[in-house]
Amino acid sequence: MEKADQIIHAKWIITCEDRNRVLENHALVIKDGKILAILPSKNTAELYQAASEQHFSTHTIIPGLINSHTHIAMNLFRGLADDLELMDWLNNHIWPAEGKWVSHDLVYDGSLLAMAEMLRGGITCFNDMYFFLDATAEAAERAGMRAHIGLTVIDVPTAWAKTPDEYFAKGLEFYQRYKNHPRITPTMAPHSTYTVSIENLIKVKELADQHQLKINIHLQEAPSEVEQSIKLYQKRPLQRIQEIGMVTDKLIAVHMTQINADDFALLEQSKASIVHCPESNMKLVSGSCPVEQLLQRGINVALGTDGAASNNDLDMFGEMRSAAFLGKMTANDPKAVSAETVLKMATINGAKALGIDHLTGSLVPGKAADFIALDLEQIETQPLYHPVSQVVYAASRHQVTDVWVAGQQLLKERQLVNVDEGEIIAKAKEWRDKIQQKEAVIS
Ligand SMILES: [Zn+2]
């Protein structure tokens, strides 16, 4: 009889390996934050003795969802400016609001609000790009989530850093502080090719090589970005970063709604990952990423919500459904971007993009115990023929009842374990009052 920490029994377990196995009446055995075994529930008693045992008889367990691109502190700007074009939205609304309000406190409170939302929606890991990285990391420590935090670089002064050199210096300080953290991983995050000079992009690439870091960048998000690049440099943004050696398996290219034949070939050769953000792309009418064509070429496509100011939620269930529907429309094929495919985009493909697929993203022995329980015995998901179809096309995030990261239970019967919901809502209201008052004066 082997000793374990927890045994979690479930009606179904969807593993999200290369093939989505759906196991019925199975259990996850957890020890030291990792999955020790997955086996039929009836066999656990003879093999394992655990300190705690839980039964989820109407639930499916799936890997924790991975939000592969977001700006979580922007949750405090949710609903501030809607129904605008990307450049109008950025130049006239979001950047001025950020210029006035972004601070360590705003980022901490906004990050905690976003983490509470993400955990309640079954997201266990996120990949962020923002400012005041320490504030996001402190919130992640408190909430218990797995966090990839970008060392943001942008040639525009903000409250966090005034010059590119200051961005690099602050980013490197953050890297030194968190490089060995078990759940917090620094990455490089140049904002885009239109906001970061080629000299600074070269510096980003050198630092990424030196410290073996992934590079996140908004890339070919909308037609205007590509047109402007061709006008100024006679090259597409992807080509510009390819010329400095940035297009490799370390690249996480976010959005990529504009892809021509040369781009496809380059992405395929390089083994770069794409993060698809369908709801942000639809809301800002940026374009639609040709997901099916990318997947057919073997290119890894993950899924992200983007920030709450352009979405307006951090809901990976909504994002999965949007990715499937938009993917079908874009390919003009109802068989494209299936439920099976989008569930993997939201789990194992995200882990591959972030370089942590050895650690999380699917439910197999040896990986971290990052998983969620989703109650399917609700009006909205009955009757049930195919669990994967139900998870993607019918379930909502409100059916997520329990969430674990590295074996730690962070949501229990829909209650957050480490953070206080009332306190988070009160802080959000305080910020709304401050930001709204100032906006009213301006208008
Ligand atoms: Zn973004």
* Domain assignment of residue 417, yes or no: no
CA of residue 118 to ligand 1 center, whole Å: 17
Q: Which residues contact 311 (CB under 8 A, 6 or more apart)?
A: 279, 280, 283, 305
Residue 235 has pLDDT above 70, yes or no: yes
Q: Same structural domain for residues 149 and 279?
A: yes
* Domain assignment of residue 432, yes or no: no
Residue 443 has pLDDT above 70, yes or no: no
CA of residue 215 to ligand 1 center, whole Å: 13
CA of residue 193 to ligand 1 center, whole Å: 13
**What is the secondary structure of 232-275 as a DSSP string?**
HHSS-HHHHHHHTT--STTEEEEE-----HHHHHHHHHHT-EEE
CA of residue 70 to ligand 1 center, whole Å: 6
**Average pLDDT over every residue of 369-386:** 97
pTM: 0.97
Residue 53 has pLDDT above 90, yes or no: yes
Q: Same structural domain for residues 237 and 349?
A: yes
Are 211 and 250 a contacting pair, CB within 8 Å? no
CA of residue 110 to ligand 1 center, whole Å: 16
Q: What percent of the chain stands above pLDDT 90?
A: 92
Q: Name the residue type at position 170.
A: K
**Average pLDDT over every residue of 344-365:** 98
Query: pLDDT tens for residues 293-341?
Result: 999 999 999 999 999 988 999 999 999 999 999 999 999 999 999 999 9
Alpha helices in 24-148 (DSSP H): 44-47, 86-89, 95-101, 104-120, 133-143
Question: Is residue 83 classed exposed, middle or buried when 0-12, 13-18 and 19+ CB atoms within 10 A define those classes?
Answer: exposed
Strand order in the sheet with 371-375: 34-40, 22-31, 2-14, 48-63, 371-375, 400-405, 408-412, 415-416
Query: What is the predicted pLDDT for the residue at 438?
Result: 58
CA of residue 189 to ligand 1 center, whole Å: 10
Query: What is the predicted pLDDT for the residue at 134?
Result: 98
* Domain assignment of residue 368, yes or no: yes
Give me the chain's average pLDDT, please: 96
CA of residue 108 to ligand 1 center, whole Å: 19
* Domain assignment of residue 310, yes or no: yes
Domain termination site, one of 311, 327, 354: 354
Q: Same structural domain for residues 142 and 188?
A: yes
Residue 8 dihedral angles phi and psi, to the nearest 5°: -115, 110
CA of residue 247 to ligand 1 center, whole Å: 19
Q: Same structural domain for residues 262 and 206?
A: yes
CA of residue 174 to ligand 1 center, whole Å: 21
Query: What is the predicted pLDDT for the residue at 303?
Result: 98
Q: Same structural domain for residues 186 and 41?
A: no
CA of residue 178 to ligand 1 center, whole Å: 23
* Domain assignment of residue 263, yes or no: yes
CA of residue 246 to ligand 1 center, whole Å: 19
CA of residue 305 to ligand 1 center, whole Å: 8
CATH number for position 263: 3.20.20.140
Query: What is the predicted pLDDT for the residue at 330?
Result: 97
CA of residue 364 to ligand 1 center, whole Å: 31
Q: Same structural domain for residues 55 and 93?
A: no
Residue 353 has pLDDT above 60, yes or no: yes
Residue 396 dihedral angles phi and psi, to the nearest 5°: -115, 165
CA of residue 245 to ligand 1 center, whole Å: 22
Q: Same structural domain for residues 343 and 370?
A: no
Query: pLDDT tens for residues 276-298?
Result: 999 999 999 999 999 999 999 99
Distance separating alpha carbons of residues 12 and 233, to the nearest angstrom: 53
Query: What is the predicted pLDDT for the residue at 19?
Result: 74
Q: Same structural domain for residues 53 and 93?
A: no
Q: Same structural domain for residues 45 and 100?
A: no
Q: Same structural domain for residues 259 and 151?
A: yes
Q: Same structural domain for residues 281 and 395?
A: no
**Average pLDDT over every residue of 414-418:** 97
Query: pLDDT tens for residues 115-128?
Result: 999 999 999 999 99
CA of residue 72 to ligand 1 center, whole Å: 10
* Domain assignment of residue 89, yes or no: yes
Q: Same structural domain for residues 45 and 31?
A: yes
β-bridge partners, 368 = 34
CA of residue 271 to ligand 1 center, whole Å: 21
The torsion defined by the Cα of 33, 34, 36 and 38, in degrees rounded to 10, comes to 110
What is the β-pairing status of strands 251-255 and 273-276? parallel
CA of residue 191 to ligand 1 center, whole Å: 8
* Domain assignment of residue 381, yes or no: yes
Domain termination site, one of 354, 371, 403: 354
Query: What is the predicted pLDDT for the residue at 442?
Result: 42
Query: pLDDT tens for residues 394-411?
Result: 999 999 999 999 999 999
Query: What is the predicted pLDDT for the residue at 101?
Result: 93
CA of residue 378 to ligand 1 center, whole Å: 34
Please count the structural domains in the chain.
Answer: 2
CATH number for position 23: 2.30.40.10
CA of residue 95 to ligand 1 center, whole Å: 13
**Average pLDDT over every residue of 230-253:** 98
CA of residue 129 to ligand 1 center, whole Å: 7
Q: What percent of the chain stands above pLDDT 70?
A: 98
* Domain assignment of residue 437, yes or no: no
CA of residue 275 to ligand 1 center, whole Å: 10
Residue 210 has pLDDT above 70, yes or no: yes
Domain boundaries, position 368: 2-63+363-412
